[in-house]
Structure 1
Amino acid sequence: MPLTTEQQSRIAALVSDHQAQPGGLLPLLHAVQDELGHVPDAATPDIARAFRLSQAEVRGVLSFYHDFRGEPPARHELRLCRAEACQSMGSEALAQRLRARTGLDDAGRSADGGLELRPVYCLGACACAPALLLDGELHARVDAAALDALLAGCLEEGGAC
């Protein structure tokens, strides 16, 4: 999808702010995502040119770091920890419950953009497993009832959980 004139000028200003900075690509990409909610693919050619990189190199950075998004974020983002400690404490059962309740795969987005599921392989909350992040907020020792309550909270806010 092409960039709007407003997006183009905002990205150009951010490029200008970061272009001369050593190692400025990552801070720029974070700034673009903070500003627009994602890093549009249509911005790649201008970013690559500004940093004297190929478009493939910029896309490689974007795909390597799992926190960068190529499309606007869903209203709600749920990241279920799938690391060993959480698995041993029941995260697989929670993942199955999420799939059944939402109809989404482990890494999927609802058609209406209400919910995005993203697996993560450690939240650093191993002592409180199983853990998940919902909209950036950590929830620990999550069981089926807690998961259902979190999903119901998304529904109350008009999201499609």
Structure 2
Amino acid sequence: MTIAHQTWSADAARAVIATCNEPGPVLISLQALQHAFGYVHPDATQLVADAFNVSRADVYGVLTYYSDLRTTPPSEVEVRVCMGEACQAVGARELMAAAQQHLGPRCDVQAVFCMGNCALGPTAVVAGRLHGRVSAVGLANSVARALGSTEAGERQ
């Protein structure tokens, strides 16, 4: 599953920010920017600060506090490995180490805690799809399939 994002531009970012008129506008604006562009471009901190009359430091503090907000463009495939206790007991640490070592720059590998799939650990999510009882080889195969589907989508 690949999500198409807009290409970053200050004008497009201003348009996204302008739609955020609810309480907590800084966080809502940053979430909207990430939804639109796939990440929050570094130049967006000044745009958000200007839009809501707060300091750039305040915006940066919100941006870096929430782990769901990212400041770099996403890779082609996101991989999340469960590091909950049940998954660690059946090899999640080793799976995470193998993923970080072997999957390469086209993948974002993140440790997350408890996906609620404890009976089928270790668990990983590859491109939005949940996989249970994952081995390093199985994870690599799932990533290869996900990368193949993104390449097929680009050719269409």
Normalising by the smaller structure, the TM-score range is: 0.7 to 0.9
Map of 1:135-150 to 2, 5 A cutoff?
Answer: 135-150=127-142
2:118 — aligned with what? 126
1:21 Cα shift? 1.7
Map of 1:1-161 to 2, 5 A cutoff?
Answer: 7-18=9-20, 20-102=21-103, 110=105, 114-154=106-146, 156=148
Structure 1 segments, 4+ long, off by >3 Å, are 154-159
* 1:76-131, Cα deviation, whole Å (9 max, x unpaired): 111111121210121112123224423x6xxxxx2xxx112111123232232211
Code of the residue aligned with 2:122 in structure 1: it is P
1:28 Cα shift? 1.6
Distance (whole Å) between structure 2 residues aligned to residue 152 and residue 47 of structure 1: 38
2:3 — aligned with what? none
For the aligned residue pairs, the C-alpha RMSD in angstroms reads 2.3
* 1:16-42, Cα deviation, whole Å (9 max, x unpaired): 211x32122222212111111111011
Distance (whole Å) between structure 1 residues aligned to residue 8 and residue 150 of structure 2: 28
Summarize the Cα distance change of 1:92–1:43 in structure 2 as closer, same or farther, 3 Å threshold. same
Tell me the TM-score normalised to structure 1 length: 0.78
| SS class of match (2:14) | helix
Code of the residue aligned with 2:114 in structure 1: it is C
Tell me the TM-score normalised to structure 2 length: 0.80
Distance (whole Å) between structure 2 residues aligned to residue 154 and residue 135 of structure 1: 6
Structure 1 unaligned runs (5+)?
Answer: 105-109
Tell me how many residue pairs correspond in the alignment. 145
Structure 2 unaligned runs (5+)?
Answer: 1-6, 152-156
Aligned sequence identity (%): 34
